[in-house]
Each structure stands twice: as C-alpha cells, then as structure tokens.
Amino acid sequence: MGIDVNYKKFVLVLKDELGNAFGVLNAFTAFSEIYVDDMWVDSSCRGKGYGRKLLQELENHFEGKGFNNINLVTSAFNAPEFYKKCGFSVEFVRENKVNPKLTKTFFIKYFKNERQTQGILKPHE
C-alpha cells in the first residue's frame, strides 16, 4: 500500500535536581503523526510553564522531520484552554450529555514544514 506504520513510543520526563520526576509526557508516532497519550505535571509544579515546556520540547524534537501534526485529546475537566494557549486548534468536540466534565476535545497542531516524508514507504531501487 506504500504506507509505513512508523509506530514508536517515547516519553519526555522533567526531573528536579534530585532526579525526581515532576512532569511526564507519553506519546507515540504513527504514520505521519504524533499522538500525545498522556501528560502529567505534579500539582506542586503546575502553573509554572512546565506543561508548555513539555509540549514545546515535543514540537521542537519533531519539527522539520517530515511529520504532519501532533494530536491530543483532553476532557473538559483537564483544562482544554491550556492547549489552545499552546497553539493547538480544536478539531472537534465529543459532548458527554450525562456528565459534561467528561466532554472530550480533540486538538491538533500542524507542523510548519511543507515536506511530509513520514509514513511513506520509499520505493526499492
């Protein structure tokens, strides 16, 4: 089919000077996209820019490497406005009519690079 699954899991970790983790971002690549599985910043460190730093490091690492976009999903109770401030756009919302706090917002952020090479198998010569 000419498509490469390109599935790779990875983790970004923020640690203090003693080596204790206080921020973690779990993600994976698939085809031409990066999917954020989970992001956590310790409650004592929130509001200090560490979540933004994790997302920025993710973007910096993959920018210019042929990927199309970064995807993530969050619930209404998990501060969707934060992701908008980080440059993500709402792709769609899946409303939970029974418990609105569990309404899901699907976000996307496109890379600026125009050449997409990930997820495409190279022809054999």
Separation of alpha carbons 123 and 125, rounded Å: 6
Separation of alpha carbons 115 and 117, rounded Å: 6
pLDDT single digits (tens) 29-50: 999 999 999 999 999 988 999 9
Bridge partners (DSSP) of residue 94 are: 104
For the chain, the domain total comes to 1
pLDDT single digits (tens) 65-89: 999 999 999 999 988 999 999 999 9
Separation of alpha carbons 82 and 121, rounded Å: 36
Tell me, what CATH number does 42's domain have? Answer: 3.40.630.30
Which residues form the domain of 30?
8-110
